[in-house]
């Protein structure tokens, strides 16, 4: 069953079962535990500390950072980076005993949102070291010597980065080819290979590097696997993924290129090569063979905070300018804001912005409560905020019209407000890709939604089990499944908790409870209908995730609206729930009955070249017909 999802087989091999409480795992099973959505209240002194720091950051940004200059020059000035280092902005998640600020996840998210509302590239630059740079891997998996040496450096002095992706390896992270081989004296690893799209690498001092280590396997007395690296040319059992601390000043490390993108022009993103780079064995983070698991674990939590915070900050940045445009732009004697088309658009924007805010704030609080396992919730939060922010900004650009397509500098030339609407749209596209693309995360979430059934039928696919063992397991399934299935038709009451006492809250959560059981039944039906073909049926996998995403967001919005003192909160909540329920009805129907196969058949033919003459009438060029060598200056 590890090969259920095509393209995710090796990622599945390092997947861990949920180790803590997860609301979404219960929801997919038809047994949502709403108590898990009520993390402890944020301590007032902790909140005050975060808000005070946000004011300090805001003052620094206004006084020292010109966002338009970063966009114009595609470079963050060194004085800005140094100023943020001095303020401790790169060490928000580092404990105070190592010189960091020791912030909660909630305060960290607050600060990133503020920075992103001024310049999202700067927020990304600050977030990367604290999500996937060397700080978190060392803090979570490093030894005391590594913590004492490196954490004070990354808290206040040095910028760090993360090196996983390679030219031929993207979301299939397990297929990295960069290799680290132990030398003859057993004291150093010699690393050769290359990494691509490594954010912050051109300005970083240290990297978290994931590389393959040829190693022999040994089974310890307690049954665990222990790996021992082998020298070049020696036999080995496997190449195991291992995490290293890499000093960028080490001989053999080369930044071959600073990559350029559609947006995010100030980002420092590099293509790196490693030629006989010597890394001391003391720079291995944690255990040999655990590097990919460490990387994915850190990414899982980072998805809940950094990208959602940046997306929220960008959307909030565009909100007031969009309202100003709608109220002041006069066409045919009327302002845009008086026209129903734009009122509907602004209404959708307000509703979705409120939902993004609700999702972020409550998930951040859940992340601060250590008993939760937020892998599924984090992935959903990242998907929702990245997709909704892009839609939000696209809608804002429509309201701006031509002024939304024109650059800030061009408008400034005529004395108009230099608001970079088009830049926000270009930049937002990246956040649906970074830290897990939407099309990768949706099957990842669906895997958890299907987990109960996969675990139940797993023995049937065990090649080592006998026919008698498989027959015995079939009888076991026949005994257990009827009771589980019948339970999905039986209503479960809400917990007796004051937080759920309000009529509107009880109504919405009761809807989630009913629909959760319906989703569980539909997942079961889909498994029966598709059986082994479910492996490749990404349309159904995506719908499982999307229904779960909708239900999770309804819960977040409902509880958020009931906990804040804003006169419009319930109005926006009701509108989101109304629209979400309509989407859920469509998704549940399409989970069982859809035309995906017909469309996929056409797409397959297109990929195979059956429709090649659709490009007739132009100067035809395939991908390989475009230049592959850099331009040479005269």
Q: So where are the chain's domains?
A: 9-38+450-601, 44-159, 162-291
pLDDT digits (tens, 9 = 90+) for 317-373: 999 999 999 999 988 999 999 999 999 999 999 999 999 999 999 999 999 987 788
Residue 5 has pLDDT above 50, yes or no: no
Find all residues with CB under 8 Å of 198, minimum gap 6, and list them: 161, 162, 163, 165, 207, 269, 270, 271, 272
Rounded Cα gap, residues 85 and 157, in angstroms: 6
Q: What are the backbone angles phi and psi of residue 285, rounded to the nearest 5°?
A: -90, 120
pLDDT digits (tens, 9 = 90+) for 180-191: 999 999 999 999
Q: What is the pLDDT of residue 20?
A: 66
Rounded Cα gap, residues 414 and 41, in angstroms: 50
Q: What is the pLDDT of residue 10?
A: 45
By the 10 Å C-beta count (0-12 exposed, 13-18 middle, 19+ buried), 112 is classed as buried
Residue 110 has pLDDT above 60, yes or no: yes
Work out the pLDDT band at 260, boundaries 50, 70, 90. very high
Q: What is the pLDDT of residue 11?
A: 46
* Contact call for residues 219 and 226 (beta carbons, < 8 A): yes
* Residue scoring higher pLDDT (597 or 461): 597
Q: What is the pLDDT of residue 19?
A: 57
Q: What is the pLDDT of residue 483?
A: 87
Q: What is the pLDDT of residue 3?
A: 47
Task: Catalogue the active-site residues.
Answer: 435
Q: What is the pLDDT of residue 478?
A: 78
Tokens of 459: 């023995």
Using CA atoms in the order 208, 210, 214, 220, what is the torsion angle rounded to 10 degrees? 70
* Contact call for residues 174 and 11 (beta carbons, < 8 A): yes
Rounded Cα gap, residues 373 and 315, in angstroms: 28
Exposure string for 330-362, b = 16+ CB within 10 A, e = fewer: eeeeeebbeeeebeebbebbbbbbbbbbbbbbb
Tokens of 97: 């005993």
Q: What mean pLDDT is reported for the chain?
A: 91
Q: What is the pLDDT of residue 301?
A: 75
Query: Residue 627: enclosing H or E segment and its boundaries?
Result: none
Q: What is the pLDDT of residue 632?
A: 74
Q: Which fold has domain 162-291?
A: Butyryl-CoA Dehydrogenase, subunit A; domain 2 (2.40.110)
Which whole number is the average pLDDT over 608-627?
Answer: 92
Rounded Cα gap, residues 398 and 612, in angstroms: 34
Q: What is the pLDDT of residue 463?
A: 61
SS3 for 482-524 is HHHHHHCCCCCCCCCCHHHCCHHHHHHHHHHHHHHHHHHHHHH
Q: Which of 626, 95, 10 is nearest to 292 (CA)?
A: 10
Q: What is the pLDDT of residue 412?
A: 93
Long-range contacts of 145-152 (CB under 8 A, 24+ apart): 145/282, 146/245, 146/282, 146/285, 147/98, 148/98, 150/206, 150/245, 151/94, 151/95, 151/98, 151/99, 151/100, 152/98, 152/99
Rounded Cα gap, residues 615 and 537, in angstroms: 29
Work out the pLDDT band at 284, boundaries 50, 70, 90. very high
By the 10 Å C-beta count (0-12 exposed, 13-18 middle, 19+ buried), 527 is classed as middle
The CATH H-level (homologous superfamily) assignment of domain 44-159 is Acyl-CoA dehydrogenase/oxidase, N-terminal domain (1.10.540.10)
* Residue scoring higher pLDDT (597 or 319): 319
Return the minimum-mean-pLDDT range out of 404-413, 438-447, 450-459, 527-536.
450-459
Region at 264 (left for phi over 0; alpha for psi -120 to 50; beta for the rest): left
- Would you call 458 helix, strand, or coil by DSSP? helix
Work out the pLDDT band at 18, boundaries 50, 70, 90. low
172 DSSP assignment: -
* Contact call for residues 502 and 562 (beta carbons, < 8 A): yes
Rounded Cα gap, residues 327 and 320, in angstroms: 11
Q: Which of 449, 528, 438, 441 is nearest to 481 (CA)?
A: 528
CA 61 to chain centre: 26
259 DSSP assignment: -
Question: Which pTM was predicted?
Answer: 0.93
Q: What is the pLDDT of residue 171?
A: 63
Q: What is the pLDDT of residue 462?
A: 60
Q: DSSP readout, 291-357?
A: HHHHHHHHHHHHHHHHHHHHHHHHHHHHHHHHHHHHHH-EETTEEGGGSHHHHHHHHHHHHHHHHHH
Rounded Cα gap, residues 61 and 108, in angstroms: 17
Which whole number is the average pLDDT over 585-614?
Answer: 93
pLDDT digits (tens, 9 = 90+) for 523-575: 988 888 887 778 788 899 999 999 999 999 999 999 999 999 899 999 999 99
* Residue scoring higher pLDDT (382 or 469): 382
pLDDT digits (tens, 9 = 90+) for 44-53: 999 999 999 9
Tokens of 431: 């956040």
Tell me how crowded residue 302 is: count the other CB atoms within 10 A of its CB. Answer: 22
Find all residues with CB under 8 Å of 171, minimum gap 6, and list them: 7, 436, 437, 440
CA distances to 162, 166, 298, 541 from 128, rounded to whole Å, are 8, 18, 11, 30
* Residue scoring higher pLDDT (452 or 161): 161
Q: Which of 157, 90, 151 is nearest to 306 (CA)?
A: 90
Which whole number is the average pLDDT over 229-246?
Answer: 94
Q: Which of 483, 484, 481, 504 is nearest to 494 (CA)?
A: 504
Query: Residue 64: enclosing H or E segment and its boundaries?
Result: helix 44-64
Residue 231 has pLDDT above 80, yes or no: yes
């Amino acid at each position: 069953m590890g090969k259920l999802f095509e393209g995710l087989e090796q990622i599945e091999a390092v997947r861990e079962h949920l180790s803590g409480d997860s609301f979404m795992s219960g929801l997919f099973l038809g047994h949502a535990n709403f108590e898990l959505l009520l993390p402890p209240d944020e301590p007032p002194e902790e909140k005050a500390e975060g808000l005070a720091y946000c004011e300090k950051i805001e003052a620094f940004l206004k006084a020292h950072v010109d966002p338009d200059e970063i966009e114009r020059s595609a470079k963050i000035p060194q004085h800005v980076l140094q100023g943020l280092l001095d303020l401790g902005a790169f060490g928000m998640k580092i404990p105070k005993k190592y010189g960091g600020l020791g912030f909660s996840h909630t305060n960290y998210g607050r600060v990133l949102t503020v920075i992103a509302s001024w310049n999202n590239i700067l927020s990304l630059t600050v977030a990367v070291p604290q999500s996937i740079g060397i700080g978190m891997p060392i803090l979570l998996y490093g030894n005391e010597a590594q913590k004492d040496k490196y954490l004070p450096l990354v808290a206040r002095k040095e910028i760090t980065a993360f090196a996983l992706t390679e030219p031929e390896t993207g979301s299939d992270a397990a297929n990295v080819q960069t290799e680290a081989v132990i030398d003859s004296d057993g004291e150093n690893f010699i690393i050769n290979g290359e990494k691509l799209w490594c954010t912050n690498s051109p300005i970083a001092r240290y990297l978290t590097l994931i590389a393959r280590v040829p190693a022999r396997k040994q089974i310890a007395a307690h049954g665990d696997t222990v790996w021992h690296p082998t020298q070049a040319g020696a036999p080995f059992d496997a190449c195991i993924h291992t995490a290293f601390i890499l000093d960028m000043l080490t001989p053999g490390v080369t930044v071959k290129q600073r990559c350029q993108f559609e947006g995010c022009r100030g980002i420092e993103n590099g293509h790196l090569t490693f030629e006989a780079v010597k890394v001391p064995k003391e720079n291995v983070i944690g255990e040999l063979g655990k590097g990919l698991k460490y990387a994915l674990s850190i990414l899982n939590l980072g998805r809940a905070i950094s990208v959602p915070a940046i997306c929220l900050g960008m959307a909030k940045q565009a909100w007031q300018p969009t309202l100003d445009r709608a109220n002041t732009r006069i066409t045919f004697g009327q302002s845009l804001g008086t026209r129903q088309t734009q009122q509907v658009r602004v209404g959708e924007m307000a509703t979705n912005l409120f939902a993004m805010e609700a999702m972020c704030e409550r998930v951040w609080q859940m992340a601060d409560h250590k008993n939760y396992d937020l892998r599924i919730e984090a992935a959903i939060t990242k998907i929702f905020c990245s997709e909704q922010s892009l839609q939000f900004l696209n809608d804002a650009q429509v309201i701006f019209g031509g002024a939304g397509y024109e650059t800030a500098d061009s408008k400034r030339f005529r004395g108009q407000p230099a608001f970079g609407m088009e830049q926000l749209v270009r930049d937002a596209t990246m956040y649906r890709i970074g830290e897990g693309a939407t099309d990768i995360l949706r099957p990842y979430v669906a895997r958890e939604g299907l987990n109960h059934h996969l675990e139940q039928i797993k023995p049937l696919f065990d090649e080592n089990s006998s026919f008698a063992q498989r027959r015995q397991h079939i009888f076991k399934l026949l005994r257990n499944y009827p009771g589980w299935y019948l339970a999905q038709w039986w209503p479960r009451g809400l917990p007796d908790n004051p937080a759920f006492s309000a009529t509107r809250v009880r109504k919405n959560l009761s809807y989630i409870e009913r629909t959760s059981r319906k989703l569980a039944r539909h997942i079961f039906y889909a498994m029966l209908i598709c059986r082994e073909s479910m492996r490749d049926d990404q349309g159904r996998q995506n719908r499982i995730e999307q229904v779960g995403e909708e239900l999770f967001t309804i819960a977040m919005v409902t509880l958020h609206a009931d906990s804040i003192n804003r006169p419009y909160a319930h109005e926006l909540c009701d509108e989101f729930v109304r629209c979400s329920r309509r989407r859920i009805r469509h998704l549940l129907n399409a989970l069982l009955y859809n035309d995906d196969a017909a469309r996929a058949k056409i797409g397959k033919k297109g990929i195979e070249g059956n429709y090649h003459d659709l490009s007739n009438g132009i100067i035809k060029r395939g991908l390989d017909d475009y230049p592959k060598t850099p331009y040479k200056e005269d």
